[in-house]
């Protein structure tokens, strides 16, 4: 196709220039003067347009009246006919070049469109190049290479360095580093060893691993993600629906107006050739394909750009909605906080070692996360020989001979009549006393994710409401909300209350407000589904989260949210630009053609030019997002310094 | 029943929309979606008549856009 275009262009240029310089009309004199230039231009025309002509004939036979090939042929053949008419009636010989150029540029435009969409499709599918081709299954002593879908749960598979992990499983032998970039956007390799669960789609980097298969292929992470991405394009956005609807009426209307434009003033003024020529210009811009392409292309590029950062968006419509998002509701534990309890303060500090030693003795056998955090913090061998007694709702008492250690909340201290120094920090407080005397206290709290404050700040900066839902008590909720900078919180909620709370927020919002719920997807699937846009964190390995949510952050990192918002914003801006720009230019061309100010040259040039610009604009969506923010910040800082 | 198939050489976005509209008119089709970018056709239709419907889909597609092939 490219060679055809180039050859035709060169030929066209040669004929065009020689016509203008020498005047091809002079070859034959008199009334037949038009024949020579016509013959030359016809050669170029057929060379560049034979397939368009053929398709026009074929499609019209199928009853496709408003077909672009047919309209193009009508416009160009009409221009030829008009030029012959002018030539034959002894007027100036012109118009052949126009007819040829229209088809030539049309083909250039088509070529560019298909090149751009092909390239865009490839770049996205390249990003999603996580589908494993085979699995090496151990059968007895030998290793067999099979299709991943044939592997069964419990099979032992061998993953060599450089290979993709074909199925989700647990490492049983070997240690290596895994590259999970294609899945999560995380560029740091993950170290794994025997006992670790690994997900399909990651690439083994350093040494051989033996893995026991935990999930069949159709259930594995790779299949779920691929399915999600392939389905993504099905959820069409309002903008896409608008433009296809527009296109549906646009072509017939333009064609009808063109016919009217040729006939009505023609009848009145009898200036037939003038008005027919203007009507033909109309046909040049009658096809809206470029416009229709640029919209899904923009969304596709947006979804692709997001997936590069490990953000899976389930459809164009969610990208569109997410751009409007102005209320963010967060689950607390596991979303804003790490969900792991840790000792955050020991007082008095000089007694730290002794407090921890005593607390560890009491808490050693408990499976409670708080007890575990104490034992983990102590990290040394714990003295044995104590008898442990549980005091319901208060704590635990350990005795060995004369020694009594009490470890629990203020109720236990009061019960035992021990005076203690109150700890006012947020979290769970454990008071420790030995033989009736207060030793000190431990403050245990859930750690806030390091990026939480930055992310909530960024969202607040975008004018969004940020609300936290938690089962924790008022005091803890308030302090976490304050620390992170949330605009609101709801404390002491039971899991089922979370849905109610979100329902309430949904009923309060205005029509165009969009509510997002951010959760880890473990027990908040109903809320994720109920909200306008459900965002699940740390989606790798969690089917429930992937299924229930609309946007999945594969990496357990809140910074994906403002990043996704930036991508959504840029995508929507470009979509809007393309719609307005393309329609405006078409309207102007139509108007100028009707008034006879422009000619076919301008019309086709404008039309193809707009298509190319719209597509190039759409490709802009797929740029880098991470570096940009930093650059902007640096710029702002410099400005502030100056 | 839902069925998904690939479309080959789908080069024109407006044709995709036209095909979608034409397929939606086929008797027995509950919903249809053509994704121009993903080159995928997904269709929900009466299971008992699926084969007949798919034959009709191929015919309709050929009529609207003869260059594009439906891979069943």
**Under DSSP, is residue A178 helix (H, G, I), strand (E, B) or coil?**
strand
Residues of A in contact with B11 (CB under 8 A): 110, 113-114, 117
Reading phi first (left if > 0) and then psi (alpha if -120 to 50, else beta), residue A429 is in: beta
Q: Residue B11 belongs to a domain with what CATH number?
A: 3.30.70.100
Question: Mutate which of B37, B40, B62, B65 to disrupt the A interface (most A C-beta within 10 Å)?
Answer: B37
> A230, B38 in Cβ contact below 8 A?
yes
> A138, A210 in Cβ contact below 8 A?
yes
CB contact under 8 A, A297 and B37: yes
> A518, A464 in Cβ contact below 8 A?
no
**Under DSSP, is residue A340 helix (H, G, I), strand (E, B) or coil?**
strand
**CATH number for the domain running over A339-448:** 3.40.1110.10
B35: Cα separation from own chain's centroid: 10
CB contact under 8 A, B13 and A59: no
Residue B5 touches chain A, beta carbons under 8 Å:
no
Per-position DSSP letters for A218-230, written without gaps between them? GGSHHHHHHHHHH
The predicted-structure confidence for A191-239, as pLDDT tens digits, reads as follows 888 888 888 888 898 889 999 999 888 888 888 777 777 777 677 888 8
Q: Is A51 a catalytic residue?
A: no
Distance of CA A303 to CAs A309, A323, B18, Å?
10, 13, 24
CB contact under 8 A, B37 and A296: yes
What gap in Å lies between CA A68 and CA A285, rounded to an integer? 10
**Which residue in A has a C-alpha nearest to residue B34's C-alpha?**
A234
Q: How many CB atoms lie within 10 A of CB A270?
A: 9
CB contact under 8 A, B35 and A287: no
| Chain A, chain B: beta-carbon pairs less than 8 Å apart | 63
What backbone phi and psi angles, to 5 degrees, belong to A203? -110, 130
User: What pLDDT, on a 0 to 100 scale, did the predictor assign at position A540?
Assistant: 64
User: What pLDDT, on a 0 to 100 scale, did the predictor assign at position A27?
Assistant: 64
- State the architecture of A135-230 in CATH terms: Distorted Sandwich (2.70)
Rg (CA), chain B: 11
- Least Cα distance to A564 among A318, A334, A239 occurs for A318
**Under DSSP, is residue A557 helix (H, G, I), strand (E, B) or coil?**
coil
Residue B11 touches chain A, beta carbons under 8 Å:
yes
- Give the containing element (helix H, strand E) for B35: strand B29-35
Q: Which residues 20-59 of chain B have a CB within 8 Å of chain A?
A: 21, 33, 35-40, 42
Residues of B in contact with A241 (CB under 8 A): none
Residues of B in contact with A59 (CB under 8 A): 66
Residues of A in contact with B44 (CB under 8 A): none
- Least Cα distance to A200 among A234, A249, A151 occurs for A151
Q: How many domains does chain B have?
A: 1
User: What pLDDT, on a 0 to 100 scale, did the predictor assign at position A634?
Assistant: 52
Helix, strand, coil percent content, chain A, rounded in steps of 5: 55, 20, 25
Question: Which segments of chain A have a pLDDT < 50?
Answer: 631
Distance of CA A438 to CAs A38, A347, A532, Å?
108, 11, 52
What gap in Å lies between CA B1 and CA A398, rounded to an integer? 64
CB contact under 8 A, B17 and A114: no
Residue B13 touches chain A, beta carbons under 8 Å:
yes
What residue has token string 């065009």?
Answer: A16
What gap in Å lies between CA A533 and CA A329, rounded to an integer? 10
Residues of A in contact with B12 (CB under 8 A): 68, 289, 293
Tokens of residue A390, six digits: 């549980």
What gap in Å lies between CA A96 and CA A506, rounded to an integer? 63
Q: Which of A117, A247, A299 sits opposite B17 (nearest CB)?
A: A247
> A230, A125 in Cβ contact below 8 A?
no
Domain carrying residue B59: 2-71
CB contact under 8 A, A62 and B17: no
Measured torsion, CA atoms of residues A351, A354, A356, A358, in degrees rounded to the nearest 10: -140
Measured torsion, CA atoms of residues A16, A17, A21, A23, in degrees rounded to the nearest 10: -20
What gap in Å lies between CA A543 and CA A439, rounded to an integer? 47
Per-position DSSP letters for A256-297, written without gaps between them? HHHHHHHHHHHHHH--HHHHHHHHHHHHHT---HHHHHHHHH
């Amino acid at each position: 196709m490219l060679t055809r275009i180039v050859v035709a262009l060169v030929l066209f240029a040669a004929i065009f220039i020689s016509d203008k310089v020498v005047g091809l009309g002079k070859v034959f004199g008199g009334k037949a003067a038009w024949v020579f230039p016509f013959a030359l231009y016809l050669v170029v025309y057929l060379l560049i347009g034979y397939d368009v002509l053929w398709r026009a004939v074929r499609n019209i036979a199928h009853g496709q009246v408003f077909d672009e090939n047919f309209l193009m042929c009508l416009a160009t053949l009409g221009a030829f006919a008009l030029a012959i008419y002018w030539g034959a009636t002894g007027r100036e010989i012109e118009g052949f070049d126009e007819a040829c150029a229209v088809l030539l540029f049309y083909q250039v435009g088509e070529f560019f469109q298909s090149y751009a969409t092909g390239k865009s499709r490839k770049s996205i599918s390249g990003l999603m190049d996580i589908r494993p081709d085979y699995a090496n299954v151990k059968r007895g002593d030998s290793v067999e290479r099979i299709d991943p879908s044939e592997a069964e749960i419990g099979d032992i598979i061998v993953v060599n360095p450089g290979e993709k992990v074909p199925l989700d499983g647990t490492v049983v032998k070997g240690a290596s580093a895994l590259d999970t970039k294609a899945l999560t956007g995380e560029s740091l390799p993950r170290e794994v060893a025997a006992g670790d669960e690994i997900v399909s789609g990651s690439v083994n980097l350093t040494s051989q691993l033996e893995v026991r298969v935990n999930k069949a292929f159709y259930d594995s992470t790779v299949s779920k993600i691929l399915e999600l991405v392939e389905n993504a394009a099905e959820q069409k956005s309002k903008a896409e629906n608008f433009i296809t609807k527009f296109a549906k009426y646009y072509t017939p209307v333009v064609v009808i107006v063109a016919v009217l434009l040729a006939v009505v003033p023609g009848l009145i003024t009898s200036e037939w050739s003038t008005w027919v020529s203007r009507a033909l210009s109309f046909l040049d811009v009658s096809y809206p394909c470029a416009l229709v392409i640029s919209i899904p292309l923009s969304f596709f590029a947006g979804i692709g750009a997001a997936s590069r950062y490990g953000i899976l968006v389930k459809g164009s419509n969610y990208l569109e909605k997410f751009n409007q998002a102005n209320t963010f509701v967060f689950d607390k534990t596991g979303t804003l906080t790490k969900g792991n309890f840790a000792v955050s303060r020991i007082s008095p500090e000089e007694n730290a070692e002794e407090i921890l030693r005593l607390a560890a003795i009491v808490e050693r056998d408990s499976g409670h996360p708080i007890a575990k955090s104490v034992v983990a913090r102590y990290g040394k061998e714990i003295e044995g020989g104590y008898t442990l007694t549980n005091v319901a709702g208060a704590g635990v008492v350990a005795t060995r001979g004369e020694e009594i250690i009490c470890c629990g909340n203020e109720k236990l201290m009061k019960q035992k009549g021990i005076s203690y120094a109150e700890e006012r920090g947020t979290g769970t407080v454990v008071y420790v006393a030995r033989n009736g005397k207060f030793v000190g206290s431990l403050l245990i709290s859930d750690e806030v994710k390091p990026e939480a404050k930055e992310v909530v700040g960024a969202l607040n900066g975008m004018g969004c409401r940020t609300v936290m839902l938690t089962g924790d008590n008022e005091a803890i909720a308030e302090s976490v909300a304050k620390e992170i900078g949330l605009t609101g919180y709801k404390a002491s909620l039971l899991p089922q209350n979370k849905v109610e709370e979100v329902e309430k927020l949904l009923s309060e919002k205005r029509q165009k407000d969009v509510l997002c719920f951010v959760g880890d997807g473990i027990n908040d699937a109903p809320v994720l589904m109920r909200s306008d846009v459900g965002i699940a964190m740390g989606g790798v390995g969690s089917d429930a989260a992937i299924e229930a949510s609309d946007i999945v952050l594969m990496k357990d990192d809140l910074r994906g949210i403002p990043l996704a918002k930036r991508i959504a914003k840029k995508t929507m801006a470009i979509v809007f630009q393309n719609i307005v720009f393309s329609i405006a230019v078409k309207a102007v061309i139509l108007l100028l053609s009707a008034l006879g100010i422009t000619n076919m040259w301008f019309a086709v040039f404008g039309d193809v030019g707009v298509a190319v610009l719209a597509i190039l604009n759409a490709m802009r969506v797929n740029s880098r997002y991470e570096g940009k923010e930093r650059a902007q910040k640096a710029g702002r800082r410099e400005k502030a310094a100056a | 029943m839902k069925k998904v198939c690939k479309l080959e050489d789908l080069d024109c976005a407006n044709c995709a929309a036209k095909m979608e509209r034409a397929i939606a008119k086929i008797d027995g089709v509950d919903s249809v979606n053509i994704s121009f970018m993903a080159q995928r056709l997904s269709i929900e239709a009466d299971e008992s008549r699926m084969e007949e419907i798919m034959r009709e889909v191929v015919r309709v597609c050929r009529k609207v856009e003869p260059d594009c092939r439906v891979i069943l």
